[in-house]
Chains A and B, each alone.
Chain A
Amino acid sequence: MRRPGLAVLCAACAFAAPPTVIRNATILTVTKGTIPNGSILIRDGKIAAVGTGIEAPAGATVIDASGQYVMPGIIDCHSHIAAESINEGSVSVSSMVGIEDVLNPESIEIYRALAGGVTTANILHGSANSIGGKCVVIKLRWGKDAKRLLFEGATPGIKFALGENPKRAGSPSPSPLLVGRPLRYPATRMGVEDVIREAFLEAKEYQALWREYRDKIARGENAIPPRRDLKLEPLVEVLEGKRFVHAHCYRADEILMLLNVADEFGFKIRTLQHALEGYKVAKEIAAHGAGASTFSDWWSYKMEAFDAIPYNAAIMMRKGVLVSLNSDSAELMRRLNTEAAKTMKYGGLSETEALSLITINPAKQLAIDSRVGSIEAGKDADLTIYDKHPLSNYAKVQKVLIDGEVYFDRDRALSEQLQKEAEKQRLLEKEKRQRPQAGARRPS
């Protein structure tokens, strides 16, 4: 009820903002080549023009990026930042829960990821369950409230997980409360498959129940609606293609299992997350139409992550899989540009291909590529400006724009830091003065 009003208001303020021009930059568009000494005109939060010889309109804010590089804002397809809970691990199927309910727009991780050039992230539920909770795609609009973090119109997701995490191998009794209680089902990879099958059988029944009800209503009959089941509703959305499945997986065998189950039930796996053995079954992944979002060279942290190679991303890409690199970590998230660079050494990807792993490819995986992922006229002005080529270890983020608005500015951040430190110190001193001194002795 309040939303349309708000939208009108935001549209109005966007219109009121003067245009921005970034000029004298090396523009890495990712999809349309590299433009040396180019300019980007931004109007109403969108890229209005890209190229050389663009004049700054009267009243425009000018960002001089001489000697600097502009690339599309980085997109992280697997992150857990900005959420106040990650796992609902008590049940085998936790699709009733959702990250959207617990977004924390004040999490400092957002700002730090922003400082690493990231503008969009897929915030996933954890991997504790065969079928996990609902996920959301956010833009890192630091300073805005939770509603404004949401990437408008992005298809919502759901997390699945295969292998050691959902079957709980190697983690005996994570809680003293579990002692003397049966461990949660499943305990094997077979069980994981079974949980997924059972859940979708249930979802199909539920879907039929609602169809029956809607048919009755359409025929003008009297009927009581079925009970709404928040666990099954997202699974029906998966069956109907309205919700993307992002499946945590490692081994080739479990990847094939999941693709088969999905084919059998008639739904798609949108992305395989991690997929460290994806290189072994790349053709099958491509045939299903799944994307893969993997690490550059992070492995061997558990048994199922041993048979990994740094060529994974490149091999899958060459076999026709849509590949992205993700962080799965608030820390790694701040330097995804150098993660992408590693694929040039391991797999021989070109600069543009390497950049695509953290820009246009994850955008395609999340079906937001009409809005973000490359620097093209008409797309959102989500841009990261580096002082050096972003695939260099020496590159530092200078500015990050989302919807044409500057959300991170290195110079400003450094100068504000001192001021914030001082303010914090003031609060600490004040509290110390007010606190009764425990055990303090009176002078005698």
Chain B
Amino acid sequence: MKLSIFAGFCAALALASEPSAIAIHNARVFTGDGAALDQATVVIREGLIEAVGRNVAAPPDAWVIEGAGLTVYPGLIDGLSTWGVQQNAPSGPAPHARGPEDRPWTTTWISAADLVQPSDRRIEQFRSAGFTSAVVFPTRGIFAGQGSVINLAGDKPGQMVVASRVGQYVSLMSGSFASFPGSLMGVIAYIRQLELDAEHYRLVKTAYEKNPRGMQRPEYDRALDGLLASPRLLLPANRAVEIKRMIAFGAELKQPFVLYGMVEAYRAASELKAAGIPVLVNLRWPERARDADPEQVESYRVLEARDKAPSSPAALANAGVRFAFYSGGIERPRDLMRAVKRAIDAGLPYDAAVRALTLSPAEIYGVSDRLGSIDKGKIANLIVVKGNLFEDGAEVKYIIVDGVKYEPVPEPPQPAPAERLPTGGEDR
């Protein structure tokens, strides 16, 4: 393994003297879209996948990784994340909004791509576990801002961004009597009004641009501009009641939408299938709070949800719903993998679990033409693994991001500070 010795020096040095090509030879290749190929070769050149297949030869100029006994997977993608993103809005008391016109907790125009911090320790930590990309979001606010797909390696934010605007993060947070919206129905009404305003804004702006003479100019509104620039909305839904509510509400909206959360998807999968809505499943399975009152007896519904939440992915897979996983603020990579394992133990096929962390998130966010599978011409994000992913004994040997090879760093004893996703929909 001359290669590993060389790459061991440091990442920056490695970057400066990358070979022109890398070939992973004679490995089992899990392309991500179809069956696994045995004794296959993957060739990577200039950050892209040049070739993959059983009868592919390693080019003479390539560094060769001997892949016997190893499996190559597409790099894992966190479907909804805050890794590497500095959160935007200041916390603290909310502004005193008097109605929708004050645009409470709304920063639709912010893009996660502009908040990327390559120095975030979580990037290296989760990369070491096999994650090569994340769909990152600003998460503070009702309309918190645009998500971006980033690759989990790079010195400069600009290098890391794969797609800058892939969806608007919406939460159902509400305040108190002091500021609008102060209730769940207030937030829903606000989202509905902002959508209507955006449609009207588009109409008026188009008319004005066509012929401004004799027409009052529309007032500039960055909140509406940001909303109109969102290819899709992410709406929270955990309980079955919330899932059905958001399916009905989302149907009113003009934009496509994706639901995230999905604790009780095990009893709403058929509704999701019928509606044709893709979903993001939080891998942070619900748990009894550590400081919960031992005397407190919870409702049957809550107990059942904690018991059955890990079976939601299996239910979604059976129903044929497109779904992706997300880290939900899990702090340690090992815990994240164990959470996936729990879903597998609850009936999710292994291949479906891999897909929910590779091709499915790429499809849901409209970037499957460049990410999510090991396919000619796609971005060279892949991982070389010994053993089965998600098992405690699995060993990620190499991680390749944008064609650059990385080796895993050991997991630190102290968990990194994590960002929990405030959704407002998680109160149970």
Residues of A within 8 A of B (CB): 2, 84-91, 94, 96-99, 101-102, 104-106, 108, 128, 133, 145-147, 174-175, 177-178, 181, 184, 224-225, 227-231, 420, 423-424, 427-428, 430-431, 435, 438
B304 and chain A: residue at smallest CB distance? A427
Tell me if B207 is interfacial: C-beta within 8 Å of chain A. yes
Known contacts A146-B245, A177-B178, A230-B193; decide if A106 and B307 are in contact (CB<8 Å): no
Known contacts A96-B193, A101-B245, A146-B244; decide if A90 and B179 are in contact (CB<8 Å): yes
Determine how close the nearest CB of chain B comes to the CB of A184; give it in whole angstroms.
8
Determine how close the nearest CB of chain A comes to the CB of B200; give it in whole angstroms.
5
Known contacts A230-B193, A428-B303; decide if A88 and B186 are in contact (CB<8 Å): yes
Tell me if B55 is interfacial: C-beta within 8 Å of chain A. no
Tell me if B229 is interfacial: C-beta within 8 Å of chain A. no
Assembly CA distance A432 to B112 (angstroms): 41
Assembly CA distance A145 to B186 (angstroms): 22
Find out whether the CB atom of B303 lies under 8 angstroms from the CB atom of A90: no
Chain A residues positioned under 8 Å from B188 (CB to CB): 97, 101-102
B201 and chain A: residue at smallest CB distance? A227
Chain A residues positioned under 8 Å from B182 (CB to CB): 87-90
Residue from A97, A174, A177, A427 within 8 A of B185 (CB atoms): A97
Chain B residues positioned under 8 Å from A423 (CB to CB): 300
Tell me if B181 is interfacial: C-beta within 8 Å of chain A. yes
Chain B residues positioned under 8 Å from A231 (CB to CB): 99
Determine how close the nearest CB of chain B comes to the CB of A3; give it in whole angstroms.
10
Find out whether the CB atom of B300 lies under 8 angstroms from the CB atom of A427: yes
Within B67-110, which residues are at the interface with A (CB < 8 Å)?
Answer: 93-94, 96-100
Q: How many residues from B make CB contacts under 8 Å with A?
A: 49
Find out whether the CB atom of A90 lies under 8 angstroms from the CB atom of B175: yes
Find out whether the CB atom of A99 lies under 8 angstroms from the CB atom of B185: yes
Determine how close the nearest CB of chain A comes to the CB of B136; give it in whole angstroms.
30
Residue from B93, B183, B203 within 8 A of A85 (CB atoms): B183
Residue from B181, B192, B193, B290 within 8 A of A88 (CB atoms): B181
- Tell me which of B99, B100, B182, B192 has the highest count of chain A C-beta atoms within 10 A of its own C-beta: B182
Interface on chain B toward A: helix, strand, loop, or mixed SS? helix
Known contacts A128-B177, A427-B304; decide if A97 and B186 are in contact (CB<8 Å): yes
Tell me if B6 is interfacial: C-beta within 8 Å of chain A. no
Chain B residues positioned under 8 Å from A428 (CB to CB): 297, 303
Encode contact with A along B260-297: 1 for CB under 8 Å, 0 otherwise.
00000000000000100000000000001010000001
Known contacts A90-B180, A96-B193, A146-B244; decide if A102 and B200 are in contact (CB<8 Å): no
Chain A residues positioned under 8 Å from B96 (CB to CB): 181
Determine how close the nearest CB of chain A comes to the CB of B22; give it in whole angstroms.
43
Find out whether the CB atom of A97 lies under 8 angstroms from the CB atom of B189: yes
Find out whether the CB atom of B178 lies under 8 angstroms from the CB atom of A178: yes
9 pairs from A and B in contact (CB 8 Å cutoff): A2-B274, A97-B181, A98-B189, A106-B239, A146-B244, A147-B248, A231-B99, A431-B306, A431-B307
Known contacts A101-B189, A230-B196, A231-B99; decide if A91 and B300 are in contact (CB<8 Å): no
Find out whether the CB atom of A174 lies under 8 angstroms from the CB atom of B177: yes
Determine how close the nearest CB of chain A comes to the CB of B403; give it in whole angstroms.
42
Known contacts A178-B177, A230-B196, A424-B303; decide if A88 and B241 are in contact (CB<8 Å): no
Known contacts A84-B184, A145-B244; decide if A177 and B179 are in contact (CB<8 Å): yes
Assembly CA distance A101 to B240 (angstroms): 15
B307 and chain A: residue at smallest CB distance? A427
Find out whether the CB atom of A177 lies under 8 angstroms from the CB atom of B175: yes
Find out whether the CB atom of A431 lies under 8 angstroms from the CB atom of B185: no
B200 and chain A: residue at smallest CB distance? A227
Chain B residues positioned under 8 Å from A2 (CB to CB): 274
Find out whether the CB atom of A224 lies under 8 angstroms from the CB atom of B207: yes
Tell me if B414 is interfacial: C-beta within 8 Å of chain A. no
Encode contact with A along B160-198: 1 for CB under 8 Å, 0 otherwise.
000000000000001111111111111011101100110
Known contacts A145-B244, A224-B204, A227-B200; decide if A97 and B176 are in contact (CB<8 Å): no
Tell me if B301 is interfacial: C-beta within 8 Å of chain A. yes
Chain A residues positioned under 8 Å from B203 (CB to CB): 224-225
Determine how close the nearest CB of chain A comes to the CB of B235; give it in whole angstroms.
13
Residue from B178, B185, B299, B300 within 8 A of A98 (CB atoms): B185
Chain B residues positioned under 8 Å from A228 (CB to CB): 196, 200
Find out whether the CB atom of B300 lies under 8 angstroms from the CB atom of A94: no
Residue from A96, A146, A227, A427 within 8 A of B189 (CB atoms): A96
Known contacts A128-B177, A147-B248, A181-B96; decide if A230 and B185 are in contact (CB<8 Å): no
Chain B residues positioned under 8 Å from A86 (CB to CB): 183
Chain B residues positioned under 8 Å from A84 (CB to CB): 184-185
Q: Name the 8 nearest CB pairs between A and B, nearest first.
A: A85-B183, A90-B182, A177-B178, A88-B186, A89-B177, A427-B303, A85-B184, A97-B185
Determine how close the nearest CB of chain B comes to the CB of A228; give it in whole angstroms.
5
Assembly CA distance A99 to B239 (angstroms): 18
A100 and chain B: residue at smallest CB distance? B185
Assembly CA distance A65 to B178 (angstroms): 54
Find out whether the CB atom of A90 lies under 8 angstroms from the CB atom of B192: no
Chain B residues positioned under 8 Å from A85 (CB to CB): 174, 183-186
Assembly CA distance A88 to B104 (angstroms): 14
Find out whether the CB atom of A102 lies under 8 angstroms from the CB atom of B185: yes
Known contacts A90-B180, A228-B200, A431-B288; decide if A104 and B98 are in contact (CB<8 Å): no
